[in-house]
Amino acid sequence: MISPVLLPDESADPLKRCFDPVVDADTRLLILGSLPGEKSLAHSQYYAHPQNKFWRLLGEVLGVELTSLPYEARLSTLLAHGVGLWDVVAQAQRAGSLDSNIRFRDDNDLVALAASLPRLQTIAFNGGTAAKLGIKVLGEHAQRYRIVSLPSSSPAYTLAYAQKLQAWLSLRGQQELAAH
């Protein structure tokens, strides 16, 4: 028996697209999420949901108060510390913000982006879905980098903040985070 081919249904769940990567030639650490949530998409900003702890966690890693900075200053500060951002999923249908609702996804070309970053040493995944999908997308190229799977900064992942922070602090002290 031939299985039916399922095609995206625009009427079912809206198509969501990721943002452009925030990187430069000095990026040494690339943090990859899965796909921006509703609040982030509405504000056209990475990690815009007020309960998402990304900016607080990364601020503690870098030793810089990020949450009080305007968005563009946050991005500039990350780049100054050799940190880049992007997402594993380029576009997908998804109702709401949960990764478990991602359907009919197209992945970003992580291999090409990583190859374009001459100083890249570490790729960190913000959450289990990003790690699972991202490591698959990178394939054998993942061996070229230090790979770190972090607990999601999302409020949907209910691990206590202190436990999230402990895991995120594994990024601290690495050569790639020294400001230049």
Structure tokens at 17: 């697209």
108 given a catalytic annotation: no
Burial class (CB in 10 A: 0-12, 13-18, 19+), 142: middle
- Active-site position among 52, 101, 108, 126: 52
Q: Where are the domains of the chain?
A: 25-177
Predicted confidence pLDDT, tens digits, the chain (180 residues): 444 444 444 445 678 888 899 999 999 999 999 878 888 888 999 999 888 999 999 999 999 999 999 999 999 999 999 999 999 998 777 676 666 556 787 889 999 999 999 999 999 999 998 999 999 999 999 999 999 999 999 877 778 999 999 999 999 865 445 444
Distance CA 10, CA 122 (A): 36
* Whole-number pLDDT of residue 10: 47
Residue type, 120: L
Structure tokens at 81: 């510390």
Q: What pTM value is reported for the model?
A: 0.86
Give me the CATH code for the 25-177 domain, please. 3.40.470.10
Virtual CA dihedral for 175, 176, 179, 180, nearest 10 degrees?
A: 100
